[in-house]
Amino acid sequence: MDITVQELKERMDKGETIHLIDVREPYEHEEFNIGGLLCPLGNVMRAIEEMSEHKAEEIVVYCRSGRRSDTAKQIMQQAGYQNVRNLLGGMLDWQEAFGK
């Protein structure tokens, strides 16, 4: 099940531990990010091994609009990650809702 920007922001504001992965490119991450680990979509396959200790934990993947992160979610699920959620609308929706 995916997650909205409102739900994610509420949970972050409560101080919940959420594994965030930003699958955008480095320049996009530098312009604006919400604290996620930068792992561009092209690197997700290689990073899956490194992140395996979090396989059963909730992971939220995000990108600019939600398309690349949806692809990353599918890749991770195929690799056995059980609780990957895509941030619907990505950073576009986040910035529209909360600004920079």
Active site residues: 63
Distances (CA, A) of 5 to 13, 23, 42: 12, 16, 24
